[in-house]
Amino acid sequence: MLTLTEAPLQAQAASAKHGLAGGATPDRPDWTIEQGWEHYSAEEHGVWKTLFERQTKLLPGRACDAFVDGMRRLPIGADEIPDFRRLSEVLMKQTGWQVVAVPGLVPDEVFFEHLANRRFPSGQFIRKPHELDYLEEPDVFHDVFGHVPMLMNPAIADYIQAYGQGGLRAKELGVLDKLARVYWYTVEFGLLRQRDGLRIYGAGIASSRTETVFSLEDPSPNRIGFDLERVMRTHYRIDDFQESYFVIDDLEALMELARIDFAPLYARVRDGMEYQPGDVLATDDVITRGTGHYHAQRRAKA
Ligand code: HBI
Ligand code: FE
């Protein structure tokens, strides 16, 4: 069962964002809400359509085969925000996953508990027409368009469940920040070396028009072969494009990751070196050495 040790504080932060009365607790302890699919407005479906169409144009030749394949087999289309009940039916048959609706970010323990039970919490709301490229919290487009196609893949399906199981432990051990980096640089911003070139599998990239192009084609970022301990030591950017992307050789590599005993790793990483997002190390398997110009320019302007 779920123990909500640090939930009250985080619940306050999250409920504040959602305009609930300060410190109000959600109706259900697992933070799920009804998707209320029937209640989306024409404008909301329209925002989905705009986002869907522009991403769908960009993704051929950029998204990995598993993403394209997952998308094709799911009831996800341009014309309406997908119905989580229909998504769950298909997912359940394929990999045993479901999609459940949440108001936005949920406390870590709640998030992990869902993943550990193969329930993917998806934001119920959709961004407003004037904020198509800007998001403070995961909405239904990021979660469904970005994450759900990959959940049709058995390796990713197991890996994300393992993250949920490992997350609860990592939090107890006080090393959640290290594990969260692994999630960030794989599930959210991961690249995959496919036989025909580098491809996107990370949901944060696949759901972002600008980062889709930046991550693969811009000369600025580093693209580095994935190494678990290296990634655990590496800070990431939450407010802008990544300065480095980490590249796996196949999705099965994630399944192997899920089997590794993290305890000895945590012990080593806990007080070793920490790396900045743009660092390149002598020991890195460098696929592309970035120019760094994009972030240098941003820093100059700031
Ligand atoms: N909640 N809905 C939602 N989606 C996330 O990706 C998410 C979350 N809560 C916590 C969280 N992610 C991360 O802070 C953990 O992965 C560490
Ligand atoms: Fe995400």
Kindly report the number of other CB atoms within 10 A of residue 263's CB atom: 11
Q: What is the CA radius of gyration of the chain?
A: 19
CA of 296 to the centre of ligand 1 (A): 29
- In this prediction, residue 261 has a pLDDT band, given cuts at 50, 70 and 90, of confident
Task: Name the residue of 111, 140, 151 to mutate for ligand 1: max ligand atoms within 8 A of Cβ.
Answer: 111
- The amino acid present at 161, given as its one-letter code, is Q
- pLDDT at residue 13, rounded to an integer: 42
Q: Write down the pTM of the prediction.
A: 0.92
Mean pLDDT in residue range 277-290: 98
Q: Does the pLDDT of residue 219 top 90, yes or no?
A: yes
142 is catalytic: yes
Mean pLDDT in residue range 248-259: 92
CB of 204 closer than 6 angstroms to any ligand 1 atom: no
Kindly report the number of other CB atoms within 10 A of residue 190's CB atom: 29
Task: Name the residue of 108, 165, 187, 236 to mutate for ligand 1: max ligand atoms within 8 A of Cβ.
Answer: 108
In the block, residue with structure tokens 């794989």: 186
- pLDDT at residue 21, rounded to an integer: 40
Give the containing element (helix H, strand E) for 154: helix 154-173
Percent of the chain with pLDDT over 70: 92
- pLDDT at residue 19, rounded to an integer: 42
Q: Does the pLDDT of residue 197 top 80, yes or no?
A: yes
Per residue in 127-172, pLDDT (tens digit) is: 999 999 978 899 999 999 999 999 999 999 999 999 999 999 999 9
Q: Which of 15, 113, 122, 142 is catalytic?
A: 142
- pLDDT at residue 36, rounded to an integer: 98
